[in-house]
Structure 1
Amino acid sequence: MRHSMALILLVLAGCGSSTPPAEEPKTETQAEAATDTKTEAADAPKAEEEPKGIPEACAGDDKAACVMPKGFVKRLCNGVYPELALFLFQKGSPWRRAYVSAKEVAPFNGLGGPSAEEKLTLDEELLVLSQMKANTGGMQVSGATGSVDVLRWDGTCATLSTEEVRFQAPSKPKHAVIPWRILEDATQEALKQNEALGKVAIERKKECKGATMGAVSAKCEKADKALNDLVVDAVRTGTTVPKPAKVP
């Protein structure tokens, strides 16, 4: 009988209340550790935001490639910035130059922004904005090529394959047509400090008589081309171009 009663008591003890045991209070050391973890999470530095404005130095670790910050490139290539192009092309700027190596290339903007109507032609000078290597999964694939996003002298962007550009300057680099008539006044006035350019700017104004579209005289076309060439020559040889009011 005693043995039966003992067995019953053991069964009842095993089927007791299902209430979980009370949590043991944390020790002082455990409480301090939990507090420190929360503090560290709160104080953890946030991802560094890309500074706005015109970049002044190469982004990334590959200084030989000297690309621009990704966010800036995206904003730049979503619009057209002729004054900024002249500012970035200035003599002594750190940006890497590239030159069209194909006879003719369609002005495709792979970053989704506007493109120029004028095709890129052999020896046109460009500024490298970003480079993308071909993704071959680590395999060597014959004919695989990457791409290069570039800025033209007219302030538009274009995307070319790496096979369509070279980095050795030709004897006479070419340039896209610069829209002189729509340049900011401050940019025009700065460029006119170049004596030869200033004279041709006056001549162009006289010959073109404010024409902005449609047919123009042969003299206007000649003066316009001469002015374009002088703008590029002035920028290449050190004429200072101010920071434009319109930036991406």
Structure 2
Amino acid sequence: MRHSVALTVLLLAGCGSSTPPAETPSTSTTAPAAESSAPAAAADAAEAEEDPKKIPDACAGDNKDACQMPKGFVKRLCSGVYPELALMFFQKGTPWRRAYVSVKEAAPFNGLGGPSSEEKLTFDEELLVLVERKVDTGGMQVSGAGSSYDLLRWDGTCVTLSAEEVRLTAPPKPKHATIPWRILEDPTQNALLANEPLAKVAAERKKECKGATMGAVSAKCEKADKALNDLVADAVRGGTTVPKPAKVP
């Protein structure tokens, strides 16, 4: 009887010792899944740590040839209208890529859901590249197929254009969207008025337009307004520095 009990105990012990090897493979198969999620988690953390109050002054990421702003900032920028920031970003020496309208006319559609300008884009208008969206063509080399850009205009609004509607080579005389001089912050206006020719035309504009903000204006007012716009763009392109605006995304 004692022999049979001892045999039973030994058999039970042998069965129990066979359990750990069966569990070992399941533990090793979970490791790759955890590792594959690491890059996505790191990217989410980097975006979460972006300073919402910081105005970018350098390219996001390592690709300096395709210099872009942080995506979080672009979303905020394109949800409103920021003409002072546009002047800052268009200043001479900034790292942002310039693009130019390559079609006769384009609709001012903001693909990021924010406000759009009522002014259509015309041939040779200068823009800043905010985000380039490339489409995977499965290895086929199809120039510009489905790709698009989110861009900033001189008036502080964003616009989305297809790759076929823009080019990255500068024309001899780039154009610009209408700069809303009347609503620019005082520090921005004062910085620009340090340019003597610009200050002279600004005074002429004020006299001819007589405070008009909407409706019909005289031909002289329109002429002075256009001349002032061109001088603002020339000053910014030429190196005039404008201050950080109070209104930021």
> Given that residues 145 and 163 in structure 1 are in contact (C-alpha distance below 8 angstroms), is that contact kept between their aligned partners in structure 2?
no
In structure 2, the residue matched to 1:86 is 87
Distance in 2, Cα, partners of 1:132 & 1:142 = 13
Structure 2: distance between partners of 1:143 and 1:233: 31
**2:228 aligned counterpart, secondary structure:** helix
- Give the equivalent residue in structure 2 for 1:217: 218
CA change 1:176–1:133 in 2 (3 A) is: same
- For this pair of structures, how many residues does the alignment match? 217
Partner of 1:58: 59
Preserved contact between residue 68 and residue 130 of structure 2 (Cα < 8 Å): yes
1:150-189 alignment, distance < 5 Å: 150-189=151-190
1:31 alignment partner in structure 2: none
Alignment of 1:189-200 (within 5 A): 189-200=190-201
**Cα 1:142–1:132 shift into 2, 3 Å:** closer
* Inter-partner Cα distance in structure 2 for 1:61 and 1:11: 70
The yes-or-no answer on 1:124 pairing with 2:125 is yes
Taking the aligned partners of 2:50 and 2:77, their CA distance within structure 1 comes to 14
Higher helix proportion (structure 1 or 2):
2
Structure 1 residue 164, shift from structure 2 partner:
1.0
Instruction: Quote the Cα distance in structure 1 between the aligned partners of 2:144 and 2:74.
Output: 27
**SS state at 1:131 partner:** strand
Are the equivalent residues in 1 in contact too, given 2:59–2:68 (CA < 8 A)? Answer: yes
Q: Deviation of residue 60 (structure 1)? A: 1.4
Asked whether the 8 Å contact 1:101–1:164 carries over to 2, the reply is yes
Deviations 1:125-163 (A, max 9, x none): 011111011232334457723011110000000011111
User: Counterparts in 2 of 1:1-248, with a 5 A limit?
Assistant: 47-48=45-46, 49-52=49-52, 53-140=54-141, 144-248=145-249
TM-score between both structures, scaled by the size of structure 2: 0.80
Whether contact under 8 Å (1:134, 1:145) holds in the other structure is yes
Q: Deviations over 1:192-235 (max 9, x none)?
A: 00001101111111111111111111111111101000100111
Q: Deviations over 1:31-80 (max 9, x none)?
A: xxxxxxxxxxxxxx993312331101111121011111111111100110
Cα distance in 1 for partners of 2:197, 2:141 equals 53
In structure 2, C-alpha distance between the alignment counterparts of 1:61 and 1:79, rounded to whole Å: 28
Give, in angstroms, the shift of residue 117 of structure 1.
0.7
C-alpha separation in 2, matches of 1:142 and 1:95: 23
**What are the ranges of 5 or more consecutive residues in structure 2 without an aligned counterpart?**
17-41
Distance 1:140 1:103 in 2: 27
Give the whole-Å Cα distance in 1 for the aligned partners of 2:91 and 2:142. Answer: 38
Unaligned runs of 5+ in 1: 21-44
Which secondary structure does the structure 1 equivalent of 2:151 belong to?
A: strand
Are the structure 2 counterparts of residues 163 and 7 from structure 1 closer, same or farther at C-alpha, using a change threshold of 3 Å?
A: same
RMSD: 2.3
**Distance in 2 of aligned mates of 1:94 and 1:139:** 31
